[in-house]
Amino acid sequence: MDDTGHIVVLITAGTETEAQRIRDLLLQARQAACVNILPKMNSTYWWQGRLESADEHLLIVKTIASRLNTVIDLTKQNHSYKVPEIIAMPIVGGNPDYLAWIDKEVCTE
């Protein structure tokens, strides 16, 4: 992924506590400008050759592309899953004031 621009990162967590912990770590480290948590959704997926189903919480992380590797590393270090879902998507447009706010709030060092 190109290191320029804004991204949304989707992360699932198995519990609300875990989602809140990851949210707080990302925000305190200034790796995200905003994190939303969507509570208790049901996910169905293949895992180790079997179809599984679990209730999860979805984190929606707004940040900049140059922070993606740090977001991934911080999440993996603090996540209970062996292979946590961490998916980044580019933001192709939006309110210029909001995008500028993301730039202002995320640490670029």
Query: Where in the sequence is the domain holding 50, given as residue range(s)?
Result: 6-105
Task: Identify each DSSP E strand in 1-109 by its residue range.
Answer: 6-13, 34-47, 50-64, 86-90
Q: Is residue 1 part of a domain?
A: no
Q: Is residue 80 part of a domain?
A: yes
Asked if residue 3 has pLDDT above 90, the reply is no
Q: What is the pLDDT of residues 61-92, one digit of tens each?
A: 999 999 999 999 999 999 999 999 999 999 99
Residue 54: which CATH number? 3.30.70.120
Q: How far is CA 36 from CA 4, 46, 51, in A?
A: 22, 26, 28
Say if residues 104 and 32 touch (Cβ distance below 8 Å). Answer: no
Indicate the pTM of the whole model: 0.94
How many distinct structural domains can be found in the chain?
A: 1
